Every structure is written in C-alpha cells, then in structure tokens.
Chains A and B, each alone.
Chain A
Amino acid sequence: MKIQRYEDMGAMELDIIREIASIGTGYAATSLASMLGSEVRMTIPEINLLGYSETIDKMGDPEECIAAVLTQMSGDVEGIMLFLLRLDFINEVLGKMLGKTVDSYEEMTEMEISVLTELGNIIISSYANAISQLAGIRIKLSVPGVSVNMLGGILTVPMAEFGYVTDKLLLIDGQLLVNQKRLNSTLLMLPEMESLNVLMQKLGAVYEG
C-alpha cells in the first residue's frame, strides 16, 4: 500500500517504523556508550502523529530553553533528524568529556557547544547508518546545525520544512538512558512522506519474511 498521507498508516506500517526506530536508537545508544564509557540504555521508541501545536505541547513549554542539533537527510530517504538535549543530559556529557558542568544554557561557550554538536552528529550518524544498512539504501546527512534557544522556535524548523505537504508531523522519538538515569534527551526522526514509502517497500518485504 502506498502511503499518501501520514494518517493512512495502519498498525503494520507503524510496527515497521517502530522497528526501524528501535534499531536506529539502539545504534545511537551504543555509540553514546562508547563515547561516555557509561552504560546507555534506550526506551522503546514512541511514534506520534501530531499537529503543530500538539507537537510543541508534547515536547515541553514553547518558551523553555533547549539545545538542539539538526541534520537534514537526503538521498533515498529525505527528512530531518533532530536531537534535543536538556541541561541534565548536557552536564552528564560535559562532565565526562570536559570534566566540567554548567549551571545554565547561557553559560555554555563555543567549546561546550561544539562538543554537543559533535556528539549530536555522531549519534545521528549512527542512527542513519543503521537504517541505511538495514534497508540497503543510501542516506546522506548534511553538516549539522546547532541551536540553543526556545523549544517552540526550534520545532518550527521541521514544521516549516514539511509545511507545504502536511499539517501533521510524524515524530519518531527515542530516549537514551545513561547509567539507569532518565536524562532528558530526545532523538527525533521526521521522514518526508515519499521516503516513508521507500522505507516501507525496502523493509516491509523483509518484515513479512
């Protein structure tokens, strides 16, 4: 079945996406673990199809400050990967990698921000690599962009990107747990519609055996 709108997806399609996301998040967790030298676990990815305002409500307060790393996917799968980090997660990482922590987002200098960007880049790349290997497709990632600002403003970027195609966003959301602690980080994959069909085609067949 070809998906014309996100709303058309049935239980089987959602299962396939959840499977893809689990594998991607798993690889991301592994690479984070090797960078931090800590145990990293993951939650089972959640799949949500939400309108713009609902998306922001789900992710938090629109005016709340957050750090985000964004990469654009192109090639066989197009879309956006967005890695959102909150202060507790940032401090866990900075503590391990730089031996220091910060009290607020404003305190971060170029050094801290570049560490986070690189970390985000590696995590996103592991995620995308896992999917491309699994499906035998090619995914190209853009140079990552970073932003430390209001959550609402950051989320409008993927919304504007898909705004001409859909009024809803498909959020594929996995969380990473470091040393059993539920630290605040979210890895979002936002595939474009046509790419979703590519993934289904490649993986649906495998899935059904």
Chain B
Amino acid sequence: MDDLGSAALRSSPVAPRGRIGQLRERASGRHSPLRRLDWVLTGAVLALAVLGALLVWSATRTRLADVGGDPNSFLKRHLLNLVIGLVLATAAMLLDYRLLRAYAPFVYLGSLLGLVAVLVVGTTINGAHSWIVLPAGFQLQPSEFAKVALIVGVAMILGEKRDGRNGVRAARPGDLDVVVVLALALVPIVLIMLQPDFGTVMVLVFVILGMLAVGGAPRRWVLGLLLGGVLLGTAILQFHLLKPYQEARLTSFVSSDASTNSTTSYNVDQAKTAIANGGLAGRGLLHGQQTQGQFVPEQQTDFVFTVAGEELGFLGAGGILLALGIVLWRALSIATASDDTFGALIGTGVVCWFAFQAFVNIGMTLGIMPVTGLPLPFVSYGGSSMFANMLAVGLLQNVRLRSRTDPYAL
C-alpha cells in the first residue's frame, strides 16, 4: 500500500503550484484525509460530547456550589477531557491501522500491565478497585483502555487467518484461533473481575462474542459460548455467588417495586422519576427538579442520561439515542467498507462495545436493565472513558481513511 500523501499526489488532476499549494491540495483535495474523514460520525460524536458537557454541568453545578466549590469545575474538566480525547483520536487516526498489527501484542501487554498496576496501587471508588490516582487530580481507569486493547488484539488474531498474510491461504478462524482468543480475553477479564468491575467484564464478553460471531468462528463455539454465558449467569444468581449488594443491583430491575427499600431500587426509582418528569420537551436545562434537587445518584457519570431525560425531555433524550444510532451505523458502514478483515473486526468490536454499553447504561436508568457502573459513551463524565471512546473513534476513522471503498457508497 502507498502512503496517504503519495495517493493524494498521484490522483491529483491539477499539478500543484508551489509548496503552499501542495499543502492546500493535500488538506482539501478529493483524496485529502480531511475530506475522507467520516464527518457524520465525527459530528455525531462531537454532538454527544458537547451535550454531555452541558448535562454534566447541570448535574454538578448545584452540588459543587453546595460544598463551596467552583460550580463549573466538572464542566471545565469534562471539556479538557474532551480536548485530550480529540488529540488521542487524531493520534489513533494518523498511524496506519495496519501497522497496529505489529504493535498489537504490545498494546495488549500494556493494557494488562495497567490492570495489574491498578490492583497494586489502585484506589477503590464505589466498591470497585478500578482507579489509579495521578497527580493534579487526575485518575486513570485502565479497564477502559483494556477494551480498546482487547479489540485490537482479537481483531489481529481473527483477521490474520482471514487476510491470509505471509503467503498463507485465507481461511476461516479455526478452533485453535478461538482458543487463543478466549485465552487472550480471559487474562484481562480475570484481572477486571478482581477489581471487581462486572460491568466492564460484561462489555468484554459481549465484544468477544460479537467479534467471534462476525469474524466467522465455528458456529459451535459461538452458540456454545452464548449458552455457557447464560448458564453461568443463572448459576451465579442461583447459588448466590455474588455479594448481596451486587445481586441486588442485578435483580432489582426485575422487581423494583417489591424492594422499594433498598438503595439500588431507590436509585432506579429516582432515575425513572427524573426521566419521566421531563415529558416531551423537558423541564429546561438547569431546571430539572430531580436533577437540581440531587435526587439521582452518580448523575454526572452513570446516570447522566437522567439529566437529559428530565431537562431536555423526550426530544433531547431521543436525540441522544439518535446520535448514538448514527455513531453505530457509521461505524458498521466503515467496518463493511474496510479493505481487510482486521479493519472490519475493529469496527465490529467498537460497535459491540458502544452498543452494549449504551444499552445497559440507558436501560438501567429506564429501569429495564440491572444497575452496573457503566458510563454512557461520550456523554458521561470521566477521563479514561472519554479517552478510550475517542481512541476507538480514532481507530474507526483510521480504517475509514485507508479503505478504498467509500462507506457512503454502501
């Protein structure tokens, strides 16, 4: 493959006039990376992030003022996270993703290192030992980056067979590949289990399953894993292997009315009340009674969707769903248009991740999914989450830039 620059030069219909003209041509020509970027995807992501900033602001303003802090400090940090995230996305976009194959093992090992580090030097927040506290008030959550790393690793293994590199004939992944994938996945899953952070584990499981299914793993594996997951879940609940509070979280959404006394169910009830209180057009930004009265817990992170529901109403909350839908749609288009299986599987993994995490998060606030500490992609406050999400978007754009097929044509 040629690099981007030569491709742009080669197909340029008009000879460049001078160095400035060349630069302008490279920036705005038909084959320029800027022009080839998926702007719909970018627009949807930016819309979600900016909306998220407003919601985080509304959710934190009062409680910050109450404790005498700067009411805008969460807003400012959220915007800073967004900017850092955009830089990371740009970085992830620039280096040809195909070269990532070579770096994939290091990315994977790096993420494991982070997961081990968090167990050693991490801090416990909300019952999960998931954070590494950095100077200047920053925190890192290695499990977020593990999602990206695992997607890249699994895409490499499953894609390698398909793409038939190094003279090997292209083939569907075999049993051995599946076993390797599962082994690769198992290490971070166990490490995250130790924190414990079941939400992230569930995301990883869903991502692996999706990638195996799309990547063409033998059907018996896919069905077997699906069945195994269901059995395991049932067994865990049946034999009460979880701590009571974890079990309560998982089951409260089924019977939220019966156990109105528990904290979990209180949280869900307040969340539902907040959302339903919004009605069609919402109570207006900064005017949600439930939100400003701080009735909903964790409202800038896990329950940020309730702010949208209450203050922006069905139109605003529906807008978030729509934007998420656009992100997923574009990501799948990029995966489809990818030249190689590796790129397609990266897109698949990212979609599985975002779709599952968004569904669980929003479903939780609507009372149809169990309570798990998963943030809403792009909207929730949280640096690591934002960075990981943006890295994933950068990878999607990366695949898009290097595809010969125009995803819009699909």
| A and B assemble together | no
Interface residues in chain A, defined as those with a beta carbon under 8 Å from any beta carbon in chain B: none
Q: B residues within 8 Å of A by Cβ?
A: none
